[in-house]
Structures are given as C-alpha cells and as structure tokens.
Amino acid sequence: MESRIKSIFSSHYFEGILLIVFGFIMLFLPTHSFKIISVITGMILSVLGATLAASYVLHNKEKHTLQLFAGLMCIALGIEFIFHTDNLAGAMHAVLSITLIYSGMLLFIQAYNLRKDRGQLFRITFAFAVIAVIFAVLMLINDEHSSAFLRIKGISMIIEGIASLFVIKENHISK
C-alpha cells in the first residue's frame, strides 16, 4: 500500500494531472485559486506524511528516524497549507513556478531523446518545453496576483500538464 501511494505521488502522470487541475482552478477561479491550490496541496502533503509516518511505525525491520521526521514534517506543512492559506500565496506562487520549470526541463529531456526523428512529436515536445520555461520564468519575475495574470498562469499550467501527459504516453508507447 505504501509503495503504491508513493508511486502515485511521484509519478509524472500525477504531476500532469495536478498541473491541469491547478490550471483550470486558476483559469476559472482566479480570486480563490491560491487558497484552493493551497488546500489541495496541504491535503496531498498530509496524506503523504501520514503514509511515511505509518510506514515507520509498521515496519519494525528498518527504523529510519529520518522517515518519521519527513512524515511528521509533511503532516505539519499540510496542516499549515490547509489552515493558513492567506499567508502562503507567495510560497504557492514560487512552488508553481518551480514546478513549471521542472516540467519544462523534463520536456526538454524528452525532446532531446526524440531529436533523431525530428518528427511532429519532437517539435511539439520542444515547443511545450520552451513555453513552460518562459511562463515559469515570467511567473518568478512578476509575482502579480491580478486576475488576468492568474488566468495566463492557468492556461500555461493546462498546456504544460497536457504536454506532460502526451509526451509521457507517447514515450511509453514507442518503447
């Protein structure tokens, strides 16, 4: 069970789906988007932390205190994200920007792996990687929370999430 939950949280599919969901939230609910995203992130962190802490307690063979500490920290951060959303708008802004940069880098790696073909998938992957990194850098530079800028962030996150899912699906099918 624990490995299944960890694999879900660490999968690129989960990241792509979260980017799409967060993008739609920012697109259609820009005034409440950081609160909603903060609560969703808090719930995810709390579940992950509870899983790590339970794993520490249940597995008597390997007692890694760092695992318990990480679990408790995830739970504490999750609770903070859920109940103190107003204080975390700046942090969520930075987290979303860094997530887009990370996803853009993954797409650059995928594009590099597809470079021999120079086909349609290569061009789409490379274009999405460039768009993701440009939007992420703009988000880091400009931390405005205006409705229009949040909608632009939402659109970029939706595009990034779709690109991540599309590229990963195509990469697994072709192998």
Q: Over the stretch 42-76, which tens digit does the pLDDT of each residue have?
A: 898 899 899 888 888 887 666 678 888 888 999 99
DSSP 86: G
- What is this structure's pTM? 0.64
Given its phi and psi angles, is residue 144 left (phi above 0), alpha (psi -120 to 50 degrees) or beta? beta
Report the distance separating Cα 85 and Cα 164, nearest Å. 28
pLDDT of residue 173: 44
Domain count, the chain: 1
Q: Which domain holds residue 7?
A: 2-174
pLDDT in tens, 135-171: 777 777 776 656 677 777 788 778 778 777 776 555 5
